[in-house]
Structure 1
Amino acid sequence: MEEQLPTTLNDKPKVLLVDDEESILNSLRRLLRGQPYEVLLASSGAQALEIMEQQSIDLVMTDARMPNMDGATLLARIHQLYPTTTRILLTGYADMPTIIKAINEGQIHRYISKPWNDEEMLLTLRQALAHQHSERERQRLEQLTRLQNDQLKSLNITLEKHVAARTAELQQTADMLDLAYEELKHSYVTGTEVFSLLANLRLPPAKQTNRQIIELVRVYCKLHGLDEGTSRDLTMAAALYNIGKLSWTDSMMTAPADLLHHNDRERYRGYPKQSESLLMTLDPMKDAARLILHHQERWDGSGFPDRLKGEAIPLGSRLLKLAVDFIELQRGLILERQMNSDEALVYIRSYAGRLYDPELVEDFIQVCAAYLSDVSLADPSVKVMTTREVAAGMILARNLNADNGMLLLNAGKVLNGPLVEKLIAFEAMEGAKYSIFVKVPEEVNGAILEAG
């Protein structure tokens, strides 16, 4: 009999809620109203098993304390009969024996305490079903690979007389197998990136960061030839570093960190830990979760959550902080003023040895130059100066914009005395401080040194 491949489900996931209290079931049904799930209800373990005999259920969430058959016993039975169904225990009691039984015999995905937090409950269900979908896809690919391997073995018996003619076909089949294995290895990376794009929908386009941070980290990994495992962990960390912010209000999500009030600031300092906690349930995400946990530590030990200092901070976390700050400075998520890329790099360089690993900063700036495809960042003739440091004859290497975004001068403009005086006056009138990127011709540089 030919083996059947598991298929990817297009229907809504079916979620079965089990509780002997009708009020609890009604509360859960209201919470899940509008969610992309088909919700079924059962008031006892026996009724739940009857439902599962009649139709396929993706996830069961049951109360721990029920008459006749408690939640742990029900989940153990479901594990025996329907091992692919995700199992969650809902308990309002500090009943460790029940929880231990559910973990050991029911091999539950998670347990949730009553009263629950609605946002955390919804997030737990989304994560559990996403993990289940990923596992089913992995099994499908493994089964596909086994079937193709079996087909190859059968084919090889008859290929001895046709080797020369069939070499190209065999090579193509081998390439397909390689692609199947590659897809299997990268399924989690792809999943995290897709989820990060969905999470970004909480933010207006001008405040979204994850895609740019992912791309920047990838450029760094490529230029430094990092191994596949390290690159994969860094990419997943870049994709989901801010998942712990999803429970924030919209106003807090878009506010600069330095303007947050006391209570919001404490919540902000907790987001790396919250992000790590959400991801630690997934084994392939554990290393990436550790990088996320420590990406807001500072080189001088003043960061959070654990005030790690210097090389005690994981190298990947140090790199992730550089990438996150570089993009978030440009989105106005750290300081009230939104910087351009050059100003962000000047800021990062100025805090080397305090916020950032001084050994990484200059190397990171070169990577940013490659990421931005901007030769001026790697050009030693380009200098960053204030309005009072520039001199006539210097050439503007980058567009100069006012703080309100208005273009003041185009790149390539040759500065002269009256123009420099106007810049100083406009800067004073606006109450700003410009960082001006200029190329210094040799004759101008010599004149400055001679005057000094």
Structure 2
Amino acid sequence: MEEQLPTTVTDKPKLLLVDDEESILNSLRRLLRGQPYEVLLATSGAQALEIMAQQPIDLVMSDARMPNMDGSTLLAHIHQRYPDTIRIMLTGYADPSAIIKAINEGQIHRYISKPWHDEEMLLTLRQSLAYQHSERERLRLVQETWDQNEKLKLLNATLEKHVAARTSELQQTADMLDLAYEELKRSYVTGTEVFSLLANLRLPPTKQTNRQIIELVRVYCKLHGLDEGTSRDLTMAAALYNIGKLSWTDSMMSTPSDLLHHNDRERYRGYPKQSESLLMTLDPMKDAARLILHHQERWDGSGFPDRLKGEAIPFGSRLLKLAVDFIELQRGLILERQMNSDEALVYIRQYTGRLYDPELVEDFIQVCATYLSDVTLADPRVKVLTTRDLVAGMILARNLNADNGMLLLNAGKVLNGPLVEKLIAFEAMEGAKYSIFVKVPEEVEGALLETS
């Protein structure tokens, strides 16, 4: 393995950009002009290795598809010779085999798609170099600990007091190592969230899900006092649960899963396993990858990929499925019709014990009410009725819209007899079936009980 001298604190980080298209290199050089980096360019893998043999490089960003030596092969060579150098893959096409090769053999730090967004590119470079600095500091502390241990062995036989002093210093160093390692794990969480934002760019804004799922999972963890490790794994799983979909076509990514044809449906059922495979080589991601693998299992054992049943499904996977389905139902990624938040919770409640853990559902609904101001279903006074179950005096708990999106009645409207008859007639004319969220005042509920 070839060794590189570390760059000094006062040196600018050195970036090596590799692409066989000079136009891409020129675009990147313009983007990085004025940034605190020293930028070097190479048009082939061989030229890049020559440059690295002559001087230390902090970060290499290589195009995936190049003649003679592709990006995955180049980054694998760099990993073997210069493991301290950060490696980033830049590609204009989605090829799972190339991505897996780059992760497994090149141990890449990030994966960026062309065309890139300038601000996200700059953010990725800053965070990658910050991660490298943290890792170098951790290794320095490890070496310092080892050196101090050696000194301690020499002093142990002659000076007990000196040993006690060094032991105290060693404890301080160990504490610093613990802090550095915790910071490293937190940086992984940040990295997964940044990557999830990049992955979401494949979808239109109305179909993007990861940010909302991350926030919902965080609210659940906070309200239930889950430990830091569990919360961290759940957050990373929420950020990257759909990374296995990156190789899909844009059309398939936007199609509701319920409408996928046979071949596409088989591919859909394989995305949790694909996601896990991409993440398992990263040690801090292993527990999160396991949650992702099983987040499409069902409580009754009819899910995939392993048809786990009941409590055999990891707790985090059961919670992640609730969060994923709640958001994806509202984005139209499960059924053709986009639901509002209350309708999505009615759907989840309907499939309690079949798709979802019955011990988690009602608790999850309460968390959703905390997270979203428009959720009314958590209020015990709110009922979901058909138009023919409505009676005068009931109050609409949320806006009522026709299937075409037209607003029929505002939340807070007090129903009367003629209004109920009009709703029944309009529903029949439209051929629709409305679910009406209403609050039932005590006097109306009492009258209904007397009638029954």
The corresponding residue for 2:134 is 138
Opposite residue 214 of structure 2, the aligned amino acid is I
**Alpha-carbon deviation of 1:51?**
4.1
CA pair 433-141 structure 1, distance change in 2 beyond 3 A: farther
Measure, in 2, the Cα distance between the counterparts of 1:14 and 1:33. Answer: 10
How far 1:423 sits from its partner (Å)? 1.3
- The answer on whether the counterparts of 2:270 and 2:305 sit within 8 Å (CA) in structure 1 is yes
Residues 218 and 180 (structure 1), Cα distance of their counterparts in 2 relative to 1, 3 Å cut: same
Q: Distance in 1 between matches of 2:180 and 2:447?
A: 64
Task: Spell out the pairing of 1:56-135 with structure 2 (5 A cutoff).
Answer: 56=56, 58=59, 79=80, 82-85=82-85, 118=95, 120-121=97-98, 125=102, 128-130=108-110, 135=131
Whole-Å Cα distance in 1 between the matches of residues 79 and 449 of structure 2?
A: 81
Counterpart mapping for 1:332-371 below 5 A: 332-371=332-371
Q: Secondary structure at the match of 2:289?
A: helix
Shift of 1:422: 1.4
SS where residue 378 of structure 1 aligns?
Answer: coil
Counterpart amino acid of residue 323 in structure 1: A
Q: 1:173-225 CA distances to partner (integer Å, 9 max, x unpaired)?
A: xxx99997764331000000011011111111100100000000000000000
In the TM superposition, what whole-angstrom CA distance separates every residue of 1:127-181 from its partner, at most 9, and x where no partner exists? Answer: 704297575142255479899x9xxxxxxxxxxxxxxxxxxxxxxxxxx999977
Find the counterpart in structure 1 of residue 152 from structure 2.
none
- Tell me whether 138-147 or 430-439 shows the greater mean CA deviation: 138-147
Give the distance between the partners of 1:286 and 1:133, measured in 2 at CA: 23
Q: Report if aligned partners of 1:276, 1:292 keep a CA contact under 8 Å in 2.
A: yes
**Equivalent residues in 2 for 1:395-434, closer than 5 Å:** 395-434=395-434
Any idea what SS the aligned residue of 1:377 has? coil
Q: Which residue of 1 aligns with 2:322?
A: 322
Give the Cα separation in 2 of the matches to 1:130 and 1:280.
15
CA 1:33/1:424 → structure 2, altered by over 3 Å: closer, same or farther? same
Q: Read off the aligned partner of 2:373 and give its amino acid letter.
A: S
Tell me the residue number matched to 2:154: none
Would the alpha carbon gap of residues 138 and 124 (structure 1) be closer, same or farther in structure 2, given more than 3 Å must change?
A: farther
Normalised TM-score (structure 1): 0.72
Q: Deviation per CA, 1:54-106, whole angstroms, max 9, x where unpaired?
A: 244556999xxx9xxxx99x95x984x63424799xxxxxxxxxxxxxxxxxx
CA distance in 2, matches of 1:232, 1:214: 11
Report the equivalent of 2:253: 253
TM-score (normalised: structure 2): 0.72
The one-letter amino acid of 1:189's match is: V
Instruction: Give, in angstroms, the shift of residue 7 of structure 1.
Output: 7.4
How many Å apart are 1:419 and its aligned residue?
A: 1.0
What is the aligned partner in structure 1 of residue 119 from structure 2?
none
Q: Does 1:41 align with 2:44?
A: yes
Unpaired runs of at least 5, structure 1: 16-27, 89-108, 110-115, 150-175
* Secondary structure of the structure 2 residue equivalent to 1:186: helix
1:320 and 1:82 map into 2 onto residues whose CA distance is: 38
The alignment's C-alpha RMSD in Å is 3.9
1:270 matched residue in structure 2: 270
> 1:343 and 1:390 mapped to 2: Cα distance?
18
Q: Secondary structure at the match of 1:235?
A: helix
Give, in whole Å, the separation in 2 of the partners of 1:290 and 1:177: 27
Contact 1:392 1:416 in 2 (8 A): yes
User: Where does residue 313 of structure 1 map in the other structure?
Assistant: 313
Does the Cα contact within 8 Å between 1:6 and 1:140 map onto a contact in 2? no
Q: Percent identity?
A: 74
Query: Relative to structure 1, is the Cα distance of residues 128 and 178 closer, same or farther in structure 2, using a 3 angstrom cutoff?
Result: closer
2: CA distance between counterparts of 1:343 and 1:251?
A: 26
Cα separation, partners in 2 of 1:348 and 1:38, compared to 1, 3 Å: farther
- DSSP-derived class of the 2:44 partner: strand
Distance, in Å, in 2 between the alignment partners of 1:312 and 1:7 is: 53
What amino acid does structure 1 have at the position aligned with 2:362?
E
Gap change, CA 1:433 and 1:117, over 3 Å in 2: closer
Structure 1 residue 117: deviation in Å? 8.1
Change (3 A) 1:48 1:339: closer
Per-residue deviation, 1:235: 0.3
- CA shift, 1:426, in A, is 1.8
Letter in 2 for 1:345: L
1:300 is matched with 300
Residue 450 (structure 2) pairs with residue 450 (structure 1)? yes
In structure 2, stretches of 5+ residues that fail to align are: 1-5, 29-39, 112-127, 146-175
For 2:381 and 2:296, locate their aligned partners in 1 and report how far apart those are by CA, in whole Å: 34
CA contact (8 A) 1:134 1:187 kept: no
2:87/2:109 contact within 8 Å kept: no
Does the CA-based 8 Å contact 1:386-1:434 persist in structure 2? yes
Pairwise CA distance, 1:52: 2.9
Measure, in 1, the Cα distance between the counterparts of 2:50 and 2:211.
46
Q: Are the structure 2 counterparts of residues 373 and 141 from structure 1 closer, same or farther at C-alpha, using a change threshold of 3 Å?
A: farther
Structure 1 pair 434/8, CA: closer, same or farther in 2 (3 Å)?
A: farther
C-alpha deviations, 1:403-422, integer Å up to 9, x for none? 22211111110001111111
Q: Write the distance in 2 (CA, Å) between the matches of 1:216 and 1:363.
A: 13
Which whole-Å deviations, capped at 9, do the CAs of 1:291-333 have from their partners, x for residues lacking one? 0000001111111111111111111000000000000000000
Task: Label 1:29 to 1:238 Cα distance change in 2 as closer, same or farther (>3 A).
Answer: same
Distance of aligned partners of 1:85 and 1:141 in 2 relative to their CA distance in 1, 3 Å threshold? closer
